[in-house]
Amino acid sequence: MALIRTSSPHLHKASSTADVMRLVALATLPGLAAMTFFFGWGTIINVMWACLLAVGFEACIVKIRKRPLGFYLKDYSAIVTALLLGLALPPFAPWWITLVGVFVAIVIAKHLYGGLGQNPFNPAMVAYALLLVSFPVQMTSWAEPFVLTHGDSWQVLEFTQTLGAIFGSVDPALIDMYTGATPLDAMRHRGGLTTEEVWRTVPVLAEGIGAWHAVSAAYLMGGVFLIYRKVFTLHTPAAVLGSLAVISSIFYMLDPYAFADPFFHLTAGATMLGAFFIATDPVTSATSNRGKIIFGIGIGILIYVIRGWGGYPDAIAFAVLLMNLCAPFIDQYTQPRSYGHAKAKRGMKGGA
Amino acid sequence: MSGDLKKISMDGLWGNNPALVQLLGLCPLLAVTGTVVNAIGLGIASTLVLLGSNLTVSAFRKFVPESVRLPIFVMIIASFVTAIELLMKAFTYELYLILGIFIPLIVTNCAIMGRADAFACKNPVKESLIDGLMMGLGFTAVLVVLGAMREALGLGVLFSDMHLLFGPMAEGWKITLVDDYPGFLFAILPPGAFVGMGLIIALKNVIDARNDARKAALNPSDGVRPERVRVTG
């Protein structure tokens, strides 16, 4: 037995679900701030509205399931789901998109499977995938960073007008001025241009890409904070980002005209959000450290495959959901050796 | 005898419903129930095939050797499906085009083969006919409920395009539930069918559980209390 090499006190307070969820919520704040700074008030409104709905739906469904209301509301899991969904939605998504999404996340993806801890799929990503498949028009109109609409001056659509746009009281034509393709979109649907030409000619890549770099850096900060606080280990995010970097480097070296560089893949879209906040969900990812690495590598490769050859420009939700499906299988083959036993029980013979 | 027929009918419509309890024929059930008219079209076609195959299988049950019964059933079912397919081509051509491969695929619908093998080849003609009819109606009912759910959720309308099946008089049957509905593609796509189907099965289980509880409350001695087993001589 290893000796404890720190000074007293040696007591630990076991962290509860609520503590962990509060930390995760706290760690999304830099990302939320960066998104608000570059893309306007929409994200904050979406997050607020999603949290409100999530608490409402959670209360209703817990009541229907005849479970203790206070206990389930106080674990903050509904809030975190709503936060992640709100961050993933386009900033000008209409109110009913969030409504449908939160309903699907909380009621169908979480509670119909038995509640927190029983859900095989990440609720926020189920909701996001469903919305993306169902409402492609609303879900693919992303806000443009302010540098593209107003140049150097920090000027985003006013709070009240954004609120009106989301809740349908402002003419949608106004919003069209503030939305455009995302970098991943531009890279995916570029016609016959080479990668270098896309970087030079498409404004969102030539001038606006900084916004995505900053948002990714903010999520990275949040993720590092969570690793520092030991909410999750380095394994999953490192495997996601590492495998994505490796596979995109290979293709970029093979043909730099047809494929985007690894840095682009790591910073565009929701890669950082996905790697640190979505793939690390303890319920739906693999359990052992070795399992987490396999799980993360799977996500990284799937992200690249779907981004490169799939029908949708970004791929985090689909990649995470597909690997969620594999997590029990991975667990079965990566069960670590238990202390005092010679061999680990793995596979069909050892497992259930 | 009439009690028997009543039990057969209740089994087909509810207690042993091919879609909700036996979970047979899920492929067409999930694939074509995007609208009510598709559901009714496929439901009627399946019911007619089920009626015909149950009748024929039951009538010839004493001449069919046990060892080759399945190929014979398949031949019988396939002939009825071919007849139905030609009929649909003649009278409801547009619906036939929409349902496409799922009309010929009725041959492989396990519900029909299942009834032929589990019921019709062991029972007289009359019972088999009733069984075929009720199983078919039970299947159609689930198709229609699922179709209505998906059409209402996915498109915001009900009973659209009913003229494909019922002729020009059905042109005005379409009900628009919500104006300017943005459309909910998920409900139209196969995943929506799976979720809808799960909800319908859950609803049936809830109703069954309520009925059982009520029955148990009315006469508590009715099989709920376990009987004491005599273990001594």
pLDDT tens across A137-184, in order? Answer: 888 888 888 877 777 777 777 888 888 888 877 777 777 778 888 888
Name the strand (E) or helix (H) holding B83: helix B69-91
ipTM: 0.76
Inter-chain Cβ pairs, chain A and chain B, closer than 8 A: 20
d(CA A13, CA A4): 16
Tell me which residue in B182, B189, B191 faces A135 most closely, judged by beta carbons. B182
Nearest Cα residue in chain B from A96: B182
Residue in chain A closest to B199 (alpha carbons) equals A112
Please give, rounded to a whole number of angstroms, the shortest distance from the CA of A135 to a CA of chain B: 7
pLDDT at B171: 75
Which pairing describes strands B175-176 and A179-180: parallel, antiparallel, or unpaired?
A: unpaired
**Cβ pair A248, A191 in contact under 8 A:** no
CA–CA dist A249, A241 (Å, integer): 12
Residue showing tokens 């049950």? B61
Amino acid at B37: V
Verify whether the Cβ–Cβ distance B186 to A108 is below 8 Å: no
The C-alpha R_g of chain B, in whole angstroms, comes to: 21
Q: What's the pLDDT score for residue B167?
A: 75
Give the residues across from A180 on adjacent strands. Answer: A142
Residues of chain B neighbouring A96 (CB-CB closer than 8 A):
182
Is the bond preceding residue A68 a cis peptide, omega within 30 degrees? no
Q: Cα(A148)–Cα(A150) distance, rounded to whole angstroms?
A: 6
Q: What is the percentage of chain A residues whose pLDDT exceeds 70?
A: 97
CA A223 to chain CA centroid, Å, is 11
pLDDT confidence bin for A31, thresholds 50/70/90: very high
Instruction: Give the one of A96, A112, A134 whose C-beta lies nearest to B186's C-beta.
Output: A134
Best of A134, A138, A139 to disrupt the B interface by mutation (most B CBs within 10 Å)? A134
pLDDT at residue A317, as a whole number: 93
pLDDT in the model for residue A339: 82
Structure-token pair, residue A176: 């069209």
Residue B54: predicted pLDDT: 93
Measured torsion, CA atoms of residues A210, A214, A217, A221, in degrees rounded to the nearest 10 = 170
* Band (A121; pLDDT cuts 50, 70, 90): very high
* A289 has pLDDT over 50: yes
What distance in Å separates residue B109's CA from the closest CA in chain A?
A: 29
Q: How far is CA A178 from CA A166, A222, B35, B217, in A?
A: 13, 28, 37, 63
CB proximity B65 to A under 8 Å:
no
Any idea where the domains of chain A sit in the sequence?
16-180
Q: When comparing pLDDT for A3 and B97, which is higher?
A: B97
Task: Determine the length of chain B.
Answer: 233
On chain A, the residues whose CB falls within 8 A of the CB of B182 are 96, 135, 138
pLDDT score, position A196: 85
Higher pLDDT, A3 or A30: A30
User: One digit per residue, pLDDT tens: chain B, 233 residues?
Assistant: 466 888 888 888 888 888 888 888 788 888 888 888 889 999 999 999 999 999 999 999 889 898 999 999 999 999 999 999 999 999 888 888 888 888 888 888 888 888 888 888 888 999 999 999 999 999 999 999 999 999 998 888 888 888 777 777 777 778 888 777 878 888 888 888 998 999 999 999 999 999 888 888 887 655 555 555 555 54
Q: What is the CA radius of gyration of chain A?
A: 21
Q: Output the pLDDT for position B77.
A: 93
Q: Which of B81, B106, B109, B111 is nearest to B17 (CA)?
A: B111
Using an 8 Å Cβ cutoff, are B48 and B80 in contact? yes
Q: Is the pLDDT of residue A223 over 80?
A: yes
Question: Residue A45: is its pLDDT beyond 80?
Answer: yes
User: Of the given ranges (A42-56, A208-222, B216-230), which has the lowest mean pLDDT?
Assistant: B216-230
Contact B185 A100 (CB under 8 A): no
What is the three-class DSSP state of B157? strand
What would the 3-class secondary structure string for A192-254 be?
CCCHHHHHHHCHHHHCCHHHHHHHHHHHHHHHHHHHHCCCCCCHHHHHHHHHHHHHHHHHHHH
Handedness of CA A316, A321, A326, A332 (dihedral sign): positive
Alpha carbon separation from A235 to A21, A288, A301, A350 (Å, rounded): 19, 10, 16, 25
In sequence order, the 6+-apart residues with CB closer than 8 A to the CB of A30 are A218, A219, A221, A222
Q: Where are the domains of chain B?
A: 2-218
* Residue B189 touches chain A, beta carbons under 8 Å: yes
Note whether A134 contacts B: Cβ–Cβ < 8 A: yes
Residue B158 backbone dihedrals phi, psi, to 5 degrees? -135, 150
Residues from chain B contacting residue A130 (CB–CB below 8 Å): 186, 191
CA distance A134 to chain B (A): 4
A interface test, pick of B150, B155, B185 with most A CB neighbours within 10 Å: B185
Of A112, A133, A138, the CB nearest to B186: A133
Distance CA B139, CA B54 (A): 15
Taking residues A323-341, what's their average pLDDT?
A: 89
Per-residue confidence (pLDDT) for residue A351, from 0 to 100: 45
